[in-house]
């Protein structure tokens, strides 16, 4: 957020988001879309999607934070991937994560996909209108991740 503030981009990004033109936030970019984050103290986010970014809760098993590596994503509600950037991807596909904080949306309807890590399910893809956020790195996730980016590009051509 400090980098966006220094570059005077916060107002521009918020104004663009209000147009409901497509946006894709990846990893930190997805986290910045939320109302508030707690990575370096309490930090105001862009508040494009209501919610907060919090540290992983304590695990009951041996999983470690940061969450680094390949993991599955699956739909939050069946059928919700239709007509989204996830429509051409398989259920339970593997994508690449590098993070220590997770997204908690205020409205569960903003959750498009989940991932299970340890004993915790967390939002791995969020959506509000034409605005998407991926907690993982699609650009590092092989052919499936590139399919998500390709679908976003098609989505921009139609809706942008």
Looking at the annotation, which residues are catalytic?
A: 27, 137, 139
Judge contact between 113 and 97, C-beta under 8 A.
Answer: no
Q: What six digits make up the tokens of 147?
A: 């399919």
133 neighbors 33 (Cβ within 8 angstroms): yes
CA distance 5 to 24: 19
**Using CA atoms, how far apart are residues 93 and 139, in angstroms rounded to an integer?**
14
Q: What is the rounded distance in angstroms from the CA atom of residue 132 to the CA atom of residue 91?
A: 18
Non-local CB neighbours of 99 within 8 Å, separated by 6+ positions = 27, 66, 67, 135
């Amino acid at each position: 957020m400090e980098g966006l503030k220094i570059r005077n981009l916060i107002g521009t990004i918020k104004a663009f988001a209000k147009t409901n033109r497509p946006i894709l936030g990846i990893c930190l970019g997805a986290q910045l879309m939320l109302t508030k984050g707690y990575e370096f103290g309490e930090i105001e986010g862009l508040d494009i999607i209501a919610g907060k970014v919090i540290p992983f809760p304590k695990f009951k098993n041996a999983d470690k934070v940061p969450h680094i590596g390949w993991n599955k994503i699956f739909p939050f509600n069946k059928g919700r991937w239709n007509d989204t950037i996830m429509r051409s991807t398989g259920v339970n596909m593997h994508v690449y994560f590098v993070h220590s904080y997770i997204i908690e949306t205020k409205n569960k309807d903003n959750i498009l996909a989940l991932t299970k890590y340890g004993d915790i399910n967390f939002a791995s893809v969020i959506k509000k209108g034409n605005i998407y956020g991926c907690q993982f790195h699609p650009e590092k996730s092989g052919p499936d991740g590139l399919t998500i980016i390709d679908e976003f590009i098609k989505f921009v051509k139609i809706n942008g």
